[in-house]
Chain A
C-alpha cells in the first residue's frame, strides 16, 4: 500500500470511530426531541425512536406555565442570572489565578492550601450556614447570592483551573515584558490573556452551563415564581400525584438546551483557533 492510501485509510478509520462514538453521544438528544412528540404511552411502552405522528402542540402547551408566566420570562430571568455570574466569575477568577501564579508573596502556600480545601467539604452541610449569611445580607429571593459569589471568586474550581493553565505558560514571557517596562496588569492583559483564551472560554462555558443547569441553589435562594429560572421552571409541572405530560416536559427540555448548544457551537472555535504559538518560546 502506498503511503497516500495508507493515510487515507487511517483518516477514514478515524472518521468511522468518531461517528460511531458520536452516535452514542447524540442519541439522547434525538430521543428527547422525538419523545416530545410522543404520548406517555409511547414513551414508556415502546422502544421505537420515531413517534407515530408529529405535532407542535406540546411545544405550544409547554411554553406557557401556571399563573400566566411563560418560558419567555423564564429565559429572560435565566440570562439575567447567568450572564453576569459568568462574566464576573471569569473576571475574578482570572485576577486571583494571576495573583497566585506569577508572584511570590508571603503566605502563598498557605493561602493556596486554603483555596483548594474550600473545594473539599461536601456542599450539603454548608447550605444552611451559607443561607444564613445571605439572609443577613438581605439578598434572599434575588440573584445576588450568585453575583456575590462570582465577584468574590467563591467558585474555587475556576480559580484553580486558571491557575493550572497559567502555570503552563513560561515565566520568561512575563520577565521579558517587565524588562520592556510593562506593569503587572499589562503583563496579564497583553501577554498572558491572549494565550489563555481557550482556558478562559472553557471556564466561561462551564460556569454558564453549570449555573444554567443548577437546580438546588436556585431552588434554595429564589422564592418567587416570577424570578424562576429555566432549571426551576422545567420541574414546575412534575408531580408524582398527577399525570405528567412528558411530551411537554421533553419539548421544553429541548427548547431549554438550544441556547447552550448554540453557545457551545460558537465558543468551540476558540478552542481550535490557533492562538497557540504567538510570543511563545519554543
Chain B
C-alpha cells in the first residue's frame, strides 16, 4: 500500500537529521539548560551559585531602571532595521537579477559592505563619516542644511546605528537573488507576460514564489535585531545617555562586566520569550501569505 510505503520512507528522515540530533544533545542542550538554571541563581561565573528563585526576574521587572528603556530601544531598532533592510535588499536583488553588462561587478559591489561585518575598519569609517565635521555633515552643509550630531544626539544616534545595519544588507540580497533564481521561467511564459506589465508579473508570479525566503529573512532579521549586540558595542557602547543601550548589550554588560551571569541569563530568557512570541505570531501569519510547494503527500 502506498501510505505504508511513505510511512516507511518517513523513518529514513531520522538518518538525515541524525547529525543535528547528536549536535543538539551534545553541544546545544547543556548550554541551554545551564543558562536556564543560572537564571534562578546568583551565579557570577567564578563559582558562586546559590538558588534565589525568581529574584532575578522580579528585579528586572520591578527595580531595573535600564530594563524597560533597553526593551524600548531594542524594539525601535528592530522596527527601523528589519523593514528597511528587507525592502532595500529585495529591491536591489530584483534590479540585479537581470542579465546586464557588468552585473557581476555590480553584485559584488552591493555585497561589499557586508564583507566587513563588524570589523574595526568599518567602525572607524562609520565614526569618521558621521562625526560632527565628517563627510555626511559636509554634504548637508553643501546643501545649506545645518550639521547634525549623528552619534552624539540621543535622538538620532539609534537611527545612525540602524543605517549601518541597513547598509550591510548584502546577505539578504544574496538570499533573494538565490530565491529569484528558483522561480521557473516557464511561469512567466505561461502567463504570457511581456515587459509591459512587469509590476503585475512581480506581484502575481515572482512574489508568491519567493515568499518562503522572504518569510525566512523576516524571521532571521527580526531575531538578529532583537539580539543585536555588535553594532552598539563596536560604535556607541550604548550611549549617548543610553539611547542605543540594546538588551543584547545590557545583558552582555551584566554578565561579563558586572559578573552577574545569573541576572544576565534571566534577561536572556526574557529575550528568548520575546522572540518566541514574535516568531509564533509571524509563523501564524504564514498560511495567509507564504506559499510552499512541498506538501508531502
Contact = CB atoms under 8 A, between A and B. Distances in A.
Interface residues of A, number: 104
A121 B269 contact: yes
A235 B109 contact: no
A171 B294 contact: yes
Given A119-B220, A178-B9, 10 more contacts: A28-B122, A44-B128, A104-B296, A108-B13, A119-B223, A120-B223, A122-B251, A165-B212, A168-B292, A213-B119
Interface stretch (A54-62, A67-75, A76-84, A272-280): A272-280
A32 B95 contact: no
Contacts of B281: none
B125 A26 contact: no
A154 B23 contact: yes
A22 to B, nearest CB: 5
A159 B26 contact: no
Contacts of B276: 117, 120
B140 interface: no
A265 B177 CA distance: 14
A100 B177 contact: no
Contacts of A47: 133-135, 138
SS class, residues of chain A in contact with chain B: helix
A153 interface: yes
Contacts, number: 293
A126 B95 contact: no
Interface residues of B, number: 107
Interface of A: 7, 14-15, 17-18, 21-22, 25-26, 28-29, 31-32, 43-44, 47, 92, 95-96, 98-106, 108, 111, 114-126, 128-130, 132-133, 148-149, 151-154, 157, 159-161, 164-171, 175, 178, 184, 195, 198-199, 201-202, 205-206, 209-210, 213, 215, 231, 234-235, 238, 246, 249-250, 253, 257, 260-261, 264-265, 268-269, 271-277, 280, 282
A95 B16 contact: yes
A124 B275 contact: no
Interface stretch (B27-35, B76-84, B150-158): B27-35
